[in-house]
Amino acid sequence: MEWIRGEEIGRGGFAWINLAIPNKNLAGLPPLIAVKSCDLSHSATLGNELEVLQSLGECPHVIRCFGAGQTIEGGSELFNLLLEYAPGGSLANEMRKRGGKLTEPEVRRHARSVLEALRHIHSHGIVHGDIKVQNILVFPPVDRCGCPEVKVADFGLAREAGCTIRPHKGEDEDEDEDEDKDGEEHRGFEWRGTPLYMSPEAVNDNEYEAPSDVWALGCAVVEMATGRPAWSHPDGANVYSLMIRIGLGDETPIIPHDLSEEGKDFLRKCFVRDPTKRWTAEMLLNHPFVACKKDCQFVSPPHSPSPRTHFDFTDWNSSIQSSTISTQSSLVTSPREFWQGKSEFGSFNNYDHHGSDSPIERIHNLACDTRPDFEDSESLWITVR
């Protein structure tokens, strides 16, 4: 497959994400996609993500994967994962734009969407392993409600349910000391995922199964409703003190006092410390808090100097600041074409999406009657989000 690499929209410890446009109008591919890339030598995590997404198939609330490919750029051999592009960025970014938190009807709707994704994921014998607002992506509304849709993304830590986790060194261990995503090795085993979202059984027994995803969803719901993490943990504080609070005793995250009784009861079902008694995603989909999609009463975010559509501009800057790279990529049908045997599970860092100015020429091309000629490697483009 041939595609054009555009502006970078995110970067982690060992991988980065660019916008990209397929060079040819291939059936089933949207005109704009996201490409997650890394050095081929560090591609175990992206390979795992590819394998998991291929095994999951289609689900309206799981990010779509269009395959993967290998390129040589700047003398480096890269592995590229081709993914659905989320114009709204992450739910964490959406919350920041909205002042930090969402309305309860929005929380209900997004919680249901994530539950539908988890039901699909768990029914295929997969555990996501890193549910959090940073890994929930925002898409345009699909109904008259006007509330954005969300999908679960970032399956780099996902694995088969029931598999034993073996300690290993992360791919980017020497490059990124961020404890939020890389597992922390401790007493012969490895903590995986994000500490603020970890379940008691994950801390105590290194157990990462479907109930851990439900616990993490509860933490995400608290954060959506309050704009704050479910656990109070000052920046820079020792992460081990947080692990002790989560793993020992009977403490659970504080349930927001201004949440409806339905919402409070929903969270109690998510925060049952015994994973065998915790409600499943299937059970929670029948809970009154999310059982029916109520009107979202969506509140549009205030005007931002970083526009999301070409109607949002207040100033027009005709200087073009990004260039394109014409990239020929051989589509991969299976990650096993690149590595033999069972892949290890690496780690992947958060992506902070950022906006950019767009030239008036680009807007003109988008508005003209004919489709812009992206075949021309000399043409310059930049995406309006």
- Contacts of residues 292-296 at CB distance under 8 Å and 24 or more positions apart, as own/partner, are 293/108, 293/109, 293/112, 293/145, 294/105, 294/108, 294/109, 295/105, 295/145, 296/103, 296/105, 296/106, 296/109, 296/145, 296/146, 296/147
Q: Same structural domain for residues 73 and 97?
A: no
Pair 112, 70: CB distance under 8 Å: no
| Mean pLDDT value across the chain | 77
Q: How confident is the model at residue 190 (pLDDT cuts 50, 70, 90)?
A: low
Please report, as a single letter, which amino acid is at residue 297. Q
Instruction: Over range 248-264, report the average pLDDT.
Output: 94
Does some domain include residue 377? Answer: no
Does some domain include residue 133? Answer: yes
Instruction: Over range 263-278, report the average pLDDT.
Output: 98
CATH number, domain containing residue 274: 1.10.510.10
Percent of the chain predicted with pLDDT > 70: 66
| Model pLDDT, residue 162 | 84
What residues are annotated to the active site? 130
> 114 vs 207, which has greater pLDDT?
114
Instruction: Over range 42-67, report the average pLDDT.
Output: 95
Q: Same structural domain for residues 202 and 260?
A: yes
| Model pLDDT, residue 382 | 43
Does some domain include residue 289? Answer: no
Q: Same structural domain for residues 225 and 344?
A: no
| Model pLDDT, residue 293 | 57
Q: Same structural domain for residues 210 and 69?
A: no
Q: How confident is the model at residue 203 (pLDDT cuts 50, 70, 90)?
A: very high
Does some domain include residue 8? Answer: yes
Does some domain include residue 9? Answer: yes
| Model pLDDT, residue 263 | 98
Q: Same structural domain for residues 245 and 352?
A: no
Q: Same structural domain for residues 10 and 136?
A: no
Would you say residue 42 has pLDDT above 60? yes
Instruction: Over range 133-161, report the average pLDDT.
Output: 91
Instruction: Over range 270-283, report the average pLDDT.
Output: 98
Domain extent, residue 77, equals: 2-86+310-367
pLDDT digit string (tens) for 301-330?
A: 554 444 444 444 343 333 333 334 444 454
Instruction: Over range 23-30, report the average pLDDT.
Output: 74
Residues with Cβ < 8 Å from 274, sequence gap 6 or more? none
Does some domain include residue 315? Answer: yes
Would you say residue 90 has pLDDT above 50? yes
Instruction: Over range 221-235, report the average pLDDT.
Output: 91
| Model pLDDT, residue 290 | 97
**Range with the poorest average pLDDT among 61-65, 134-138, 237-241, 274-278:** 237-241
3-state SS, one letter per residue, for the chain? CEEEEEEEEEECCCEEEEEEEECCCCCCCCCCEEEEEEEHHHCHHHHHHHHHHHHHCCCCCECCEEEEEEEEECCEEEEEEEEECCCCCEHHHHHHHCCCCCCHHHHHHHHHHHHHHHHHHHHCCEECCCCCHHHEEEECCCCCCCCCEEEECCCCCCEECCCCCCCCCCCCCCCCCCCCCCCEEECCEEECCCHHHCCHHHHHHCCCCHHHHHHHHHHHHHHHHHCCCCCCCCCCCCHHHHHHHHHCCCCCCCCCCCCCHHHHHHHHHHCCCCCCCCCCHHHHCCCCCCCCCCCCCCCCCCCCCCCCCCCCCCCCCCCCCCCCEEEECEEECCHHHCCCCCCCCCCCCCCCCCCCCCCHHHHHHHHCCCCCCCCCCCCCCCCCC
The number of domains in the chain is 2
| Model pLDDT, residue 175 | 39
> 315 vs 12, which has greater pLDDT?
12
Q: Same structural domain for residues 72 and 36?
A: yes
| Boundary (domain end) residue, out of 284, 318, 350 | 284
CATH number, domain containing residue 15: 3.30.200.20
Does some domain include residue 202? Answer: yes
Q: Same structural domain for residues 69 and 112?
A: no
Does some domain include residue 13? Answer: yes
> 194 vs 146, which has greater pLDDT?
194
Residue among 45, 60, 69, 271 nearest 158 (CA):
45
Q: Same structural domain for residues 103 and 74?
A: no
Instruction: Over range 56-85, report the average pLDDT.
Output: 95
| Model pLDDT, residue 1 | 61
| Model pLDDT, residue 38 | 95
**Range with the poorest average pLDDT among 35-49, 91-105, 240-254, 348-362:** 348-362
**Range with the poorest average pLDDT among 61-75, 154-168, 351-365:** 351-365
Q: Same structural domain for residues 127 and 112?
A: yes
Q: How confident is the model at residue 120 (pLDDT cuts 50, 70, 90)?
A: very high
Q: Same structural domain for residues 248 and 322?
A: no
| Model pLDDT, residue 126 | 98
| Boundary (domain end) residue, out of 245, 266, 284 | 284
Q: Same structural domain for residues 240 and 314?
A: no
